[in-house]
Amino acid sequence: MQYYADLATMLLISLTAVVGVFALTGLTGLFSFGQGGFMALGAYTAVLSNMRLGVPYPLALLLGVLMAGSCSVLIGYPALKLRRDFFALATFGFGEAITAIFQMFTQVTGGTMGLPGIPRYTELWVALPVAAGAIFLVANFKKSKMGRQSIAIRNDELAAQALGIDVFRHKMVVFAFSAGLAGLAGGMQGFFIHYMDPRIFGWTTSVEQVITVYFGGINSLTGSVVSTLLLSTMPEVLRFASTWRVVIYAALIILTMNLRPQGLLGDWELTRSSARDQYRRLRRVPAEPQPAELEVR
Amino acid sequence: MYVVQQLINALSMGGVYALVAVGFALIYSILKFSNWSHGAVIMLSSYFGYVMAAHVGLPLIPTLVLTTVVGGFLAVIIEMIAFRQIRLKNGPIIYFFVTSITVSTGAQFAMYPTVGGNFFRWPDLISSTTIQLGGVTVSTLNLMMGGICLLALVVLNQILFRTRIGTAIRAASNDMRAAALMGVDINFVIAAAFFLSGALGGLAGTLMGISYTTYPEMGAEAMIKGFVAAVVGGLGSINGAVMGGILLALVETLVTMTPIGSSAAPVAVFAMLLVLLFVRPWGIAGKATDEKA
């Protein structure tokens, strides 16, 4: 039982980070390859403040979020003025620099030897409401004015600017938001596995999150959630082929990208009405007659 | 003298970084995406070269030639499996990136169940001697590596600027649509570019295997170096990639020589990358262009 609880906790932690990436990469079209770095910042801030200064767990998590968020403002201020591809490169350099710095200061962080003996506070009952809250936030973000502005910026930055959206400020807010979620996920992960070293927050972590969002479909938050569930549990389900699981995983992603470029779910979102439609389609119940649409002239 | 010696070592390492970066820049210049599957080509051809050298017992030159050719074909195969469908469907550039990084990860993890995560030490293909050059001791290995890299870059330059296919590659990198309208067979040109890029990767993988060892993570590690070098040089610029590779190796060596030591090298490298991106994001040799709306 403990095994399934741990698996679910791990999954919920990654879910918290992935929905942040969904807001940044999926909706706003900004590629951050430094999310791992923000997770590392959140994790080390939370864990070190708890272990060295005795800050209680919830406050330590909050400190981690603030640390990741404020660092994202520091790095975002110059980086978001760059072209999008250079922004991706700058965040990549930032993420790698962060993990390299944590490896360098061996006295504080344990360096590559890692930081052992971290108390375990993150349990399923902590991770579940946190992840649910993150999903709720992002779902509302997508529906809000902010979310629609994000999509406008993703589709055509110049046109969005012409419509009066402060593109730079908007990107900054979304970047800080996703970095904060990454910091939260990092902090929870830090208090989960008793041990951490900077390498678990390298660029592969950031890339995995971007791949997860693309796998689910960049327009669908449900897609991101479903693909996190699939891609995180797949290694466990594929235990019979444990040594080959990452290869199978890679093959699946390549197949999806080649055959279904809009991602797993495309534009589909799970809402009350879309769920009802889906249910009707499965039970072959004819849809209710829709009220005739007003013709706009 | 110690400094000069270190700098010469840095130059030979820089040559290998330059090979990786040029192979990366070649694809970037045509398809405009960061081709991380280059790491898979480097790693797989390094394993191939190891088998050729250690089990078949080939000497140095045939091993180098074979791995170069095999690397080229590997890259062409990867292009056909992972990128061709996306390209024909006019998929967004980011999909190329996502699949390329997945190919790299998949190839790396395919090694663990098959050959294991071991470090394979190559047999001595060249006698590891040193020669004295005016008070500076240089190992023949480093000299040879520098020489081979230089030769490979000269050959690449000749292919790109003296042959029909080279002209076609340059035309396609300038404007793929216009090149296609002028009757250039784009599929063939892209395959040729992947072959050249893969050949450089295969050569780089072999040289890294000879000078160090061959192991599953070497592709990803080489790719990070080559990527930073290509960005520093200016994405898509071949001369820039060469300069970036050498500069990267120099910075690494110089930082390692400071009292902080080698643990500061990655920090310095990424700090250099960040500063450069903020000051001159188009790189040393790239041209500044505004994003078109």
Position A28 in a domain = yes
Cα–Cα distance measured from residue A252 to residue B278, given in angstroms and rounded to the nearest whole number: 37
Position A125 in a domain = yes
* Least confident stretch, A292-296, B22-26, B198-202: A292-296
CB atoms B264 and A104 under 8 Å: yes
Segment A239-278, tens digit of pLDDT: 666 667 778 778 877 888 777 777 777 777 877 778 788 7
CB atoms A159 and B231 under 8 Å: no
* Least confident stretch, A143-157, A242-256, B91-105, B150-164: A242-256
Burial profile B25-55: b = 16 or more Cβ within 10 angstroms, e = fewer: bbbbbbbebbbbbbbbbbbbbbbbbbebbbe
Query: B200 is in which domain, residue-wise?
Result: 2-226
What pLDDT sits at residue A42? Answer: 95
Indicate the number of domains in chain B.
1
Tokens representing A273 are: 């009405």
Query: A35 is in which domain, residue-wise?
Result: 2-214
Segment B233-281, tens digit of pLDDT: 887 788 889 999 999 999 888 888 877 777 777 788 888 888 888 888 7
Angle between helices B238-257 and B265-279 (to 10 degrees): 140
What pLDDT sits at residue A47? Answer: 93
B80 touches chain A (CB under 8 A): no
Place of tokens 């991106």: B277
Cα–Cα distance measured from residue B287 to residue B265, given in angstroms and rounded to the nearest whole number: 28
Does pLDDT of B151 surpass 90?
yes
* Contacts with B266 from chain A: Cβ below 8 Å: 96-97, 100, 103
Cα–Cα distance measured from residue A131 to residue A138, given in angstroms and rounded to the nearest whole number: 11
Closest Cα to residue B148, out of B197, B98, B203? B203
Position B261 in a domain = no
What pLDDT sits at residue B290? Answer: 52
- The backbone torsions φ and ψ at residue B132, rounded to the nearest 5 degrees and listed phi first, read -95, 125
Position B264 in a domain = no
Q: What share of chain A is helix, strand, coil (3-state, %, to 5)?
A: 75, 0, 25
Closest Cα to residue A120, out of A48, A189, A42? A189
A163 touches chain B (CB under 8 A): no
Best residue of B79, B81, B109 to probe chain A, by most A CBs closer than 10 Å: B109
Closest Cα to residue A88, out of A244, A261, A206? A206
Position B277 in a domain = no
What pLDDT sits at residue B293? Answer: 40
A173 touches chain B (CB under 8 A): no
Burial of A15 (0-12, 13-18, 19+ CB in 10 A): buried
Q: How far is A56 from chain B (nearest CA, A)?
A: 32
What pLDDT sits at residue A241? Answer: 62
Does pLDDT of A238 surpass 90?
no
Decide: A259 and A252 in contact? Cβ < 8 Å. no
Binding-face residues of B in 235-274 toward A, CB within 8 A: 235, 260, 263-264, 266-267, 270-271, 273-274
Of residues A283 and B44, the one with the higher pLDDT is B44
Q: How far is B15 from chain A (nearest CA, A)?
A: 22
Segment B222-233, tens digit of pLDDT: 988 888 898 888
Q: How far is B26 from chain A (nearest CA, A)?
A: 17
Segment A90-128, tens digit of pLDDT: 898 889 889 888 888 888 887 778 888 888 888 888 899
A103 touches chain B (CB under 8 A): yes
Q: What is the CATH number of the domain that holds A188?
A: 1.10.3470.10
Position A37 in a domain = yes
Does pLDDT of B25 surpass 50?
yes
What pLDDT sits at residue B285? Answer: 76
User: Shortest CB distance from B105 goes to which of A157, A159, A246?
Assistant: A246
User: Shortest CB distance from B106 goes to which of A90, A103, A247?
Assistant: A247
The contacts of residue A127 (CB under 8 Å, 6+ apart) are: A8, A9, A12, A13, A16, A188
Position B66 in a domain = yes
Binned at pLDDT 50, 70 and 90, residue A186 comes out as very high
Position A230 in a domain = no
Does pLDDT of B74 surpass 70?
yes
Rounded to an integer, the average pLDDT of B165-187 is: 90
Position A280 in a domain = no
Does pLDDT of B78 surpass 90?
yes
Position B284 in a domain = no
Position B281 in a domain = no
Does pLDDT of B291 surpass 70?
no
Decide: A22 and A131 in contact? Cβ < 8 Å. no
Nearest residue of chain B to residue A100 (CA atoms): B267
Question: In Å, how far are A45, A47, A57, A119, A202 from A53, measured between CA atoms?
Answer: 11, 10, 11, 14, 26
Indicate the number of domains in chain A.
1
Position B287 in a domain = no
Q: Over pLDDT 70: what percentage of chain A?
A: 94
Position B58 in a domain = yes
Of residues B138 and A10, the one with the higher pLDDT is A10
Angle between helices B93-114 and B218-233 (to 10 degrees): 150
The alpha carbon of residue A231 and the mean position of all alpha carbons in its chain are separated, in whole angstroms, by 13
User: Shortest CB distance from B99 goes to which of A106, A207, A254?
Assistant: A254
Decide: A13 and A127 in contact? Cβ < 8 Å. yes
| Residues in chain B, total | 293
What pLDDT sits at residue B148? Answer: 92
What pLDDT sits at residue A297? Answer: 47
Binned at pLDDT 50, 70 and 90, residue A39 comes out as very high
Binned at pLDDT 50, 70 and 90, residue A180 comes out as very high
What pLDDT sits at residue A111? Answer: 78
Of residues A198 and A282, the one with the higher pLDDT is A198
Does pLDDT of B288 surpass 70?
no
